[in-house]
Amino acid sequence: MSRNILFAVSGGIAAYKACDAVSKLRQAGCEVRVIMTKHAAELVAPATFEALTGNKVYTDTFDFSDDASIKHIVFAQQADVFVAAPATANLIAKFAHGIADDMVTSTYLAATCPAVVCPSMHANMYANTATQENLKTLERRGVMLVGPTEGRLASGDMGRGPLAPVNEIIDAVLKQLEAVE
């Protein structure tokens, strides 16, 4: 029974919560590989995820430091579920429009497995018509959306935008795994 999770972290302030999600997926018996946007790596060091998973973290599509394999293709082929948490408005727009300009977006486009996308951003960005249309596009394509929730934002404002609770993300990922097993 394969339980390979490809966990993409983008550059939202909630990136620190991805550490807890990755740890809980490992505790649930999943093999987790983390890829990050360069902005995410500014918020949480890749070494944190490497310690949690035992796997090297990649932020660069053209990182051939350990071998000549095309990582975004290899990781996409190995994944049973692709998770993006947090998924910023920028990342969601790129997913919806097929833009592949970094490790995370290139891997997402190469993946054929189920995807779980967990939006997290300021409430105004989440409510923006463009973001809502992008989310609808992803839903139409079969992507499972988890969150966001209502609460206090990093700016101090209140509204719909914080990352869904980690337990909800884990439940969604495990549900997707059950569907492919």
**3-class secondary structure for the chain?**
CCCEEEEEECCCCCHHHHHHHHHHHHHCCCEEEEEECHHHHHHCCHHHHHHHHCCCCECCCCCCCCCCCCHHHHHHHHCCEEEEEEECHHHHHHHHHCCCCCHHHHHHHHCCCCEEEEECCCHHHHHCHHHHHHHHHHHHCCCEECCCCEEECCCCCEEECCCCCHHHHHHHHHHHHHHHC
Structure tokens at 73: 């293709």
Whether 1 shows a pLDDT value over 70: the answer reads no
Q: Which CATH number fits domain 4-180: 1.10.760.10, 3.40.50.1950, 3.30.830.10, 3.40.50.800?
A: 3.40.50.1950
C-alpha to C-alpha distance for 137 and 41, rounded to whole angstroms? 27
Confirm if 72 and 46 have CB atoms less than 8 A apart.
Answer: no
Mean pLDDT, the chain, as a whole number? 95
The whole-number pLDDT of residue 110 equals 97
Question: pLDDT by residue (tens digit) across 55-85?
Answer: 999 999 888 888 878 899 999 999 999 999 9
Delimit the domains of the chain by residue range: 4-180
C-alpha to C-alpha distance for 149 and 52, rounded to whole angstroms? 26
Question: pLDDT by residue (tens digit) across 17-47?
Answer: 999 999 999 999 999 999 999 999 999 999 9
The whole-number pLDDT of residue 130 equals 98
Question: pLDDT by residue (tens digit) across 79-131?
Answer: 999 999 999 999 999 999 999 999 999 999 999 999 999 999 999 999 999 99
Question: pLDDT by residue (tens digit) across 128-150?
Answer: 999 999 999 999 999 999 999 99
